Amino acid sequence: MPDVDFYYDGNRQDLVESLPTFNKDIRVLEIGCADGGFKSNFSASEYWGVECVEAVALIAKERLSKVLIGTFDDVYDQIPDNYFDLVVCNDVIEHMIDHDSFFEKIKLKLKADGKISGSIPNVRFLWNLKELLIQKDWEYQDAGILDRTHLRFFTLKSLERTFNNHNYTIETLKGINSIAPRTWLTLRRKKLLTKLFIFLLGDDTQYLQFYFLISKNTNADLK
């Protein structure tokens, strides 16, 4: 079995409390499923994954019902229509060449009452703004908000607009992984400065990511 670093750890315990609950076995499709660790959070009759890194996909195959190797567009025709109760997109939308196309095409794979659950980095995160506004820099990294593989960047407002533009009903849209409780902010001065900057720049700047839960707006699609 190949070694996989933290980048492909699909567990994501930080999202568990935000996940929707289902009263029955469901069919789940996870886009960018990494090593398949997120499956443990569901009682699913079927759990499919899409993963473009082959070495990681091979690990996921040992955990999931079916794993398709490639990008969403690569394997689109292999995904059945009107089939899934839930599509999971944890930190994957920002890697897509055309996220608008994805939000339209994925509707065909969801059941009429299907939902999409996921997380996405917040480009207005306080430390990112510090780099941009104070240090006057925008340097891509191996991971994080400025991950060099990110092709799209979102704020809370732009993410909401994206969902509305594609006629989704927003059930949940909130900040997660707040800077506030981080243990290294122990000095009183740092706490006060952090609170001040969040107050001045906006409450949304305290969050590293946003969590979203959206559903198909079938009435809008019929117009």
Predicted confidence at residue 44, as pLDDT, reads: 87
**Across 191-196, average pLDDT:** 80
**Across 21-35, average pLDDT:** 89
Map out the domains of the chain with their CATH numbers: 6-123+150-178+208-221 (3.40.50.150)
pLDDT interval class at 7 (50, 70, 90)? low
How far, in whole angstroms, is CA 109 from its chain's centroid? Answer: 18
**Across 97-111, average pLDDT:** 97
C-alpha 74/C-alpha 173 separation (Å) is: 29
Phi and psi, residue 86, nearest 5°: -145, 135
**Across 178-200, average pLDDT:** 69
* Position 222 pLDDT exceeds 60: no
* Position 219 pLDDT exceeds 70: no
Q: Which residues make beta-bridge pairs with 67?
A: 49
Give residue 186's identity as a one-letter amino acid code. Answer: T
**Across 149-175, average pLDDT:** 97
* Position 4 pLDDT exceeds 60: no
* Position 161 pLDDT exceeds 90: yes
Predicted confidence at residue 127, as pLDDT, reads: 92
**Across 22-48, average pLDDT:** 91
Condensed to tens digits (0 to 9), the pLDDT of residues 56-96 reads 999 999 999 999 999 999 999 999 999 999 999 999 999 99
Percentages of the chain per state (helix, strand, coil), in multiples of 5: 35, 25, 35
Give percent above pLDDT 70 in the chain: 87
Predicted confidence at residue 217, as pLDDT, reads: 77
pLDDT interval class at 218 (50, 70, 90)? low
Predicted confidence at residue 191, as pLDDT, reads: 75
- Count Cβ neighbours within 10 Å for each residue of 106-130 and write b for 16 or more, e otherwise: bbebbeeebbbbbbbbbbbbbebee
Predicted confidence at residue 2, as pLDDT, reads: 39
